[in-house]
Amino acid sequence: MSSPKPVRRPLVAGNWKMNLDHVAAIRLVQDLALRLRSLEHDALDVAVFPPFTDLRSVEGILGADQLPVLLGAQHCSAFDEGAYTGEISLSMLVRLSVTMVLVGHSERRQLFTMTDEQVAATARAVLARELTPVICVGETGPERDEGSTEARLESQVLAALEGVAPGREAGIVIAYEPIWAIGTGVAATPDDAQVACEQIRSLVIAQRGEIGREMRILYGGSAKPENAAELVSLPDVDGLLVGGASLDAEAFAAIVAATAGCYGRAAGKS
């Protein structure tokens, strides 16, 4: 805990998970657009990650109104095309103006058995298309209780880096999401979030050198308007990955506002 906030561009990302059909998605993005218009948020990236079936509709609204909101997907195939029933390729996502992809969200890992190797392969494929992988890592409750958070993060981060060619580290985002905090209403304490995010950055720096200082690290897990400012003020937290609160335009806009306010102050200090 030391240096002032460096120049990493903050990111507030909304992961809608399997919520909102395309009609509800249109409503939410329109509401969000109105709220974001009155906010100064030029200094940060705002992104939404709707379900696949919403992407075309959301792309249409973002494009028509030229809204400064990035479009993300919640998952993608590591394969280019072919006989992979039920999968979605990066080419399909690129055609829909998607620029970011969540890779290895804990729900993909836990419920759909996504392995560290698949996470690395997917990150590699996303980077090959010049998109930004948002690679999720985090420990379970029992792992935290038995004191193995550090070991868990180390193994997940090192495995994910296998998919990141040297020199490309600044183009990835890592989201630290303690699984016990996801959807529970109980976020990590600022101290715990900072320790974990600092550990992640130190690991990347140890493996790949100073370029690790340019990589963005998000915190995720019960982020909400009430705790956003405190979390994004932490030295190694460069933004938030928001689940539940991103389904509510008012709450998500408040999180964006809190982040913009924090970075405005940080910029004023330097």
248 belongs to the binding site for ligand PGA (CB under 6 A): no
Position closest to ligand PGA via CB: 243
Binding test (CB under 6 A) with ligand PGA, winner from 11, 12, 15, 41? 15
**Residues sharing a CB contact under 8 Å with residue 66, sequence separation 6 or more, in sequence order:** none
Q: How many CB atoms lie within 10 A of CB 208?
A: 17
Distance from C-alpha of 35 to C-alpha of 42, rounded to nearest angstrom? 14
Distance of CA 76 to the CA centre of its chain: 15
Note whether 216 and 238 are within 8 A (CB): yes
220 belongs to the binding site for ligand PGA (CB under 6 A): yes
Specify the amino acid at residue 88: I
Distance of CA 253 to the CA centre of its chain: 16
Burial 64-101 (b: 16+ CB within 10 A, else e): eeebebbbbbbbbbbeeeeeeeeebbbebbeeeebbbb
Q: Which residues are catalytic?
A: 105, 177
Q: Provide the mask over 124-163, with x wherever binding to ligand PGA is found by CB under 6 A and - wherever it is not.
A: ----------------------------------------
Contacts (CB under 6 A) with ligand PGA, residues 172-211: 177, 182-183
Binding segment toward ligand PGA, per CB under 6 A, in 54-62, 88-96, 122-130, 237-245: 237-245
Binding segment toward ligand PGA, per CB under 6 A, in 22-30, 38-46, 148-156, 239-247: 239-247
CB of 253 to ligand PGA, least distance (A): 15
Nearer to ligand PGA, 15 or 77 (CB): 15
Residues that bind ligand PGA (CB under 6 A): 15, 177, 182-183, 220-223, 241-245
